[in-house]
Chains A and B, each alone.
Chain A
Amino acid sequence: MAASELIHDSDDVRLQVEASVTTPTAPLHPPRVANGDLRSTVTGSVDGKQERGRLGSLLQQNQLIHSLSSGLRRHCHYVKIPVQEEHAVQLPTEWWKTGVAFLYAAFNLVFTTVVITIVHERVPDKSVSPPLPDKFFDYVDRVPWAFTVTESNGLILVGLWLLQWICLKHRSIIGRRCFFLIGTLYMYRCVTMYITTLPVPGKHMVCAPKLYNDSTGKIWRILRLISGGGLSLTGSHLMCGDFLYSGHTVMLTLSYLFIKEYSPPWMWWYRWFCWALSASGVVCILFAHEHYSIDVVVGYVVTTRTFWWYHTMANTHALRQAPNNFLSRTWWNPIFNFLERNVRTTVPVAFTWPVALPSACRQRYRIVEGGRDE
């Protein structure tokens, strides 16, 4: 856009788009004009006539700035160029938001255990409602030790993710995302478990007896389930009815997705190992006839879709200003905005020591230096 067009438009100020600079005595820095043309005329000789020209050109520069800005305001033919802020503000830590996300996840996990206890009362008895026909069960007979494999794989994956998370540099932001996704997926699970109750998938399942109105007993069961982490390994999960969809699949898939997303690209062997753990864990759920195939499939689909949806919203900043942002039509969009409002770029995969080096080391170094100076 040539400034000359603006000049010709404005009929009040006749402009000279020049900035005279004389060398070498007094180089005059040309004025910084945003979004505009800058022309400088360098005249090699220092002359008395140049002095007059210099003052005149100073005046003209001011006139230029004034006219340009008024012209810009009038015509609005300008493009907003966002100036990037300093790097430090790009990824603020904001641990309190991570705390809020943690509370959200904890609440949803407790709520899930409550719903499992309620649903347990409504599961139809094995004799009344036999297990539903399932294609996988038709082909593969039950393997008793398979579920232990699932749960140990799950524990290993969660442990690996925990270690990785502690060593990440931006652990507050990533932890926030992890808690939010866990909370949301378990909340969806509460809804699907509660509205329709599937019968037990196999005759082998041992369900604890129903406590019809025994509230104290129910609360004891809830506490036992929470303390055992919901795992059968710890003997805490004796209740039936929580089939659609599978919480084990969610944890296996989600921890693998997070491990893959936030690990350095060169560690491909690590990612393959975790993928193998995750896939074998999920398949073993079906081998053990502990969940229907539909539970595992729906669990996998919901987990992957929600994870990818969230990360696309977080990483694609063009979407945040887009007028027709379909991704923002989910119900959790306000929560997303709250958590990710100040995160301005894609979170880089960077690692750092979780604890700072002890200051005693630094102190010792300083004493040594002080000694040398003397």
Chain B
Amino acid sequence: MKKVVAWSAEDVSNWLSKEGMPEYIDALCQMDGPALLKLTETDFQKPPLSLLSSDAGQQLLERLETLRIETHIEAHKNGHANGHIVRLPNGTTKPQRNGSLAMKDFSMEMIHIPMPTIEATRSSFPVEWGKTGVAFIYAVVCFVTTTVVISVVHERVPPKEHTPPLPDKFFDLFDRVEWAFSICEINGMLLVGLWLIQWILLKYRSIIGRRFFFIVGTLYLYRCITMYITTLPVPGMHFKCSPKLLGNWEAQMRRVMKMIAGGGLSITGSHTMCGDYLYSGHTVMLTLTYLFIKEYSPKRFWWYHWLCWTLSAVGIFCILLAHDHYTVDVVVAYFITTRLFWWYHTMANQQSLKETSQSNPFSRVWWYRLFQYFEENVNGMVPKNYQLPFSWRALQWNRGVKYSRLDSQ
């Protein structure tokens, strides 16, 4: 709405007819905006206006006041909150804020209405590949440390004959099935592959990749600690542990390299070492990839979620069926993975939890500073938008307009 001071005579006439006062149009046809605003009561006591008006121009004057207030509000829209009380002695406007009153001979009840802060509509998701790089390096360091610790722990595993496998409830109920562990590893590779494809298609892949690397790195770091401090014996007599290389650093290095190259899987023949039981890394990968797949895919792909859940659950069951881990390894791994995932995402999505305070117990974890570094510029929940990793525009064959659910670059 144009300001009243900028109105022309035509605008004034339009306004008069809109307000339901066509009788004034002829008399005021020469008036423009500023002149209209200067109308007072005295003008209505003289002809020609006194002849036209039945109420001495009260209605028009009141409408004018409204107009003045409206334009005043338009001009100062951002500054006023929560009500606008205007005192108009003799036609001058004096804007007041939020309940302050200039008049003393007036008692008004003030109620304080706390306005709830509407969540920032400007959600920002800066890309920041540098931070994702840091997270990736962190994950790689944790993986390498895990491999080194497995190699160290292997030297301390008591031999099968010396310490038989511990009593385990699941092993009492189910006998060993030989091919089960291959199923577990195949499921794991499928899930990791699916998650990789999904991650490439995500729009905010830098932020989500950062989260994945951080959580995986931390879980493997915890695993290093639990594996190292107490060494459990092998869960079954079927295990073939490679011989111990006592003090032979070169051979140990080569073993570590072989394991990293094979990804720590038995299928690739890289994992012949024993002792890494508490807790199970296979369970961590199966659970974590499923959690990420489910979290960052659209809700309507329920069949996809169910497929991944089945892969994950069958994989975990097969670990136990193959007698490759104790039950407590799997349970502890599941517990820690889910708790860390949910904890991290709750902190990331809730702005109030990103500050250290007495009422924020979540800020007492040791990785809180690292979390703040990664997530300080991310405001709000990361939306599940999809985008092809490279632009298809160069390869477009048809010139027609394409509508797609994927975001364009």
Contacts and interface: CB of A to CB of B under 8 A. Distances in A.
A211 interface: no
Interface string A190-217: 0110111111000000000000000000
A329 B342 contact: yes
Interface string B85-105: 111111000000000000101
A267 B238 CA distance: 58
B360 interface: yes
Interface string B38-68: 0000000000000000001010001101100
Contacts of A327: 342, 346
A312 B360 contact: yes
Interface in A82-108: 82
A194 B346 contact: no
A32 B113 CA distance: 12
A287 B56 CA distance: 99
A128 B163 CA distance: 7
B163 A39 contact: no
Contact of A18 (B66, B114, B169, B327): B66
A298 B349 CA distance: 28
The majority secondary structure among interface residues of chain A is loop
Contacts of A130: 158, 162-163
B345 A326 contact: yes
Interface stretch (A131-139, A159-167, A178-186, A225-233): A131-139
Given A42-B88, A195-B168, A195-B327, A133 B231 contact: yes
Contacts of A325: 346
Nearest to B275: A133
Contacts of B278: 294
A196 B166 contact: yes
A132 B163 contact: yes
Nearest to A42: B87
B375 to A, nearest CB: 14
Contacts of A196: 166-169, 326-329
Instruction: Select the residue from B114, B116, B162, B335 with max chain A CB neighbours within 10 A.
Output: B335
Nearest to A124: B167
Interface in A295-342: 297-298, 301-302, 304-305, 307-309, 311-312, 315-316, 318-319, 322, 324-327, 329-330
Interface stretch (A21-29, A68-76, A145-153): A21-29
Interface residues of B, number: 79
A39 B69 contact: yes
Contacts of A134: 229-231
Contacts of B158: 130, 132-133
Contacts of B327: 195-196
Contact of A40 (B56, B86, B118): B86
Contacts of B360: 312, 315-316
A235 interface: no
Interface string A37-76: 1111111100001000100000000000000000000000
Contacts of A330: 342
Interface string B366-379: 00000000000000
Given A130-B163, A192-B332, A37 B84 contact: yes
Contacts of A194: 169
Contact of B116 (A82, A133, A309, A324): A82
A21 B106 contact: yes
A21 B103 CA distance: 12
Contact of A49 (B58, B66, B226, B362): B58
Nearest to B235: A196
Contacts, number: 184
Interface string B225-246: 1101111110000000000000
B170 interface: yes
A195 B170 contact: yes
A122 interface: yes
Contact of A136 (B170, B229, B335, B364): B229
B233 to A, nearest CB: 7
Contacts of B19: 14
B355 to A, nearest CB: 12
Nearest to B155: A133
B113 A195 contact: no
Contacts of A292: 229-230
Contacts of A4: 66, 70, 73
A122 B167 contact: yes
Contacts of A192: 328, 331-332
A37 to B, nearest CB: 6
Nearest to B84: A37
Contact of A309 (B63, B73, B108, B343): B343
B6 interface: no
Contacts of A133: 156-158, 230-231
A346 interface: yes
Instruction: Give the top 7 A-B pairs by smallest Cβ distance, nearest first.
Output: A308-B361, A294-B230, A326-B342, A196-B328, A293-B229, A195-B327, A196-B326
Interface of A: 2, 4, 14, 16-18, 21, 23-24, 27, 29-30, 32, 35-44, 49, 53, 79-82, 122-124, 128-130, 132-136, 191-192, 194-199, 244, 292-294, 297-298, 301-302, 304-305, 307-309, 311-312, 315-316, 318-319, 322, 324-327, 329-330, 346
20 contacts: A2-B73, A14-B19, A42-B88, A49-B58, A79-B115, A81-B113, A81-B114, A129-B166, A132-B230, A133-B230, A135-B229, A191-B331, A197-B167, A297-B229, A307-B361, A308-B362, A312-B361, A316-B359, A326-B346, A330-B342
